[in-house]
């Protein structure tokens, strides 16, 4: 896969950059919706003067035989996610020491959603009610969340954050802001139209996977503790 920001790649002159920019635009004519993503990555590589990576990118996206566009998108998502996990993991583990990723995400959800309960948490995280019940009991025991009931409904149990839980949630939010600031330079290059195209695709793919999860009755509780610290907001 292309590594945007690979400083080991040989640099190119301004003239070479102009030629490759022209060739990249020509390559766009042969592409469908994927051209928006191609353009973003190419512009980033041009700014970094990475001749080798641009040539490799053009080969993979236009003339390459190794992967079709569907495979390239899937591989691209996986590659991006793995990099995010790797970059975020150490800061998360250091600043949120003693808390598992699944616990922190549970705290975040409860902090953002009034009257959170086992059912809502299970649906949000694709976990069984039993797994969520076990998780919330642990957080209650640690004094991070507390349970309550409404006067008109004594059967349902809801959760809210304690002062200790609010501290953890605030640290988590601050880390997300740091990560967003780190990646700001990339997103500033994305137009509203490009955002709409990418968001539309993600929404369609997400709905498809939701349907498959329900159809197959898959329990994805054990995902290496939410793939460790990817921290992609839901």
Extract the tokens encoding 41. 């990555």
With bands split at pLDDT 50, 70 and 90, how would you rate the model's confidence at 96? very high
Whole-number Å distance between alpha carbons of 41 and 159: 43
Is the confidence at residue 85, as pLDDT, over 80?
A: yes
Q: Express each pLDDT in 130-151 by its tens digit.
A: 999 999 999 999 999 999 999 9
Whole-number Å distance between alpha carbons of 86 and 83: 5
| Nearest one of 146, 130, 136 to 103, comparing CA atoms | 136
What value does the mean pLDDT take over residues 24-41? 52
With bands split at pLDDT 50, 70 and 90, how would you rate the model's confidence at 70? confident
* Distances, alpha carbon 39 to alpha carbons 35, 113, 138, 189, 229, in Å: 6, 38, 47, 10, 29
Is the confidence at residue 160, as pLDDT, over 70?
A: yes
Least confident range of 20-34, 133-147, 160-174, 177-191: 20-34
Is the confidence at residue 52, as pLDDT, over 60?
A: no
């Amino acid at each position: 896969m292309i590594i945007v920001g690979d400083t080991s790649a040989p640099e190119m002159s301004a003239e070479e950059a102009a030629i490759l920019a022209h060739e990249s635009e020509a390559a766009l004519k042969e592409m469908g919706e994927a051209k928006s993503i191609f353009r973003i990555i190419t512009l980033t590589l041009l700014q970094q003067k990475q001749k080798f990576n641009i040539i490799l990118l053009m080969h993979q996206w236009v003339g390459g035989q190794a992967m079709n566009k569907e495979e390239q998108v899937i591989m691209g998502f996986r590659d991006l996610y793995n990099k995010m996990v790797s970059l975020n993991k150490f800061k998360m583990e250091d600043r949120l020491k003693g808390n598992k990723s699944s616990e922190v995400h549970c705290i975040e959800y409860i902090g953002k959603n009034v009257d959170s309960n086992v059912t809502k948490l299970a649906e949000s995280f694709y976990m069984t009610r039993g797994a969520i019940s076990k998780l919330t009991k642990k957080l209650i025991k640690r004094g991070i969340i507390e349970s309550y009931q409404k006067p008109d409904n004594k059967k349902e149990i809801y959760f809210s954050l304690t002062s200790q839980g609010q501290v953890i949630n605030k640290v988590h939010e601050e880390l997300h802001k740091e990560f967003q600031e780190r990646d700001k330079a990339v997103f500033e290059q994305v137009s509203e139209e490009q955002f709409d195209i990418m968001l539309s695709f993600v929404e369609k793919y997400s709905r498809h996977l939701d349907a498959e999860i329900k159809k197959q009755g898959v329990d994805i509780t054990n995902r290496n503790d939410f793939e460790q610290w990817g921290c992609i907001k839901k």
